[in-house]
Amino acid sequence: MPAALAGLVQTLRQGLSARAELGAGREELLEVAGPALGFIVPTAHGSARR
């Protein structure tokens, strides 16, 4: 599981970097990063399911 999580984080980082290089702005990147963080840390951004 730790290796899979590390792979997910690395993929997100690379994807966000590529989008930024192609001209994506801060708001667009945050729209992607917010939900992605919710998958990694379920309590982030109100994504906790009770």
Nearest by Cα to 41 from 4, 5, 11: 5
For residue 41, the model assigns a pLDDT of 80
18: CB partners within 8 A, 6+ apart: none
For residue 45, the model assigns a pLDDT of 55
Average pLDDT in the 10-25 region? 96
For residue 42, the model assigns a pLDDT of 72
% of the chain exceeding 70 in pLDDT: 84
Structure tokens of 22? 């192609």
Cβ distance 19 to 29 under 8 Å?
A: yes
d(CA 25, CA 21): 10
Cβ distance 30 to 39 under 8 Å?
A: no
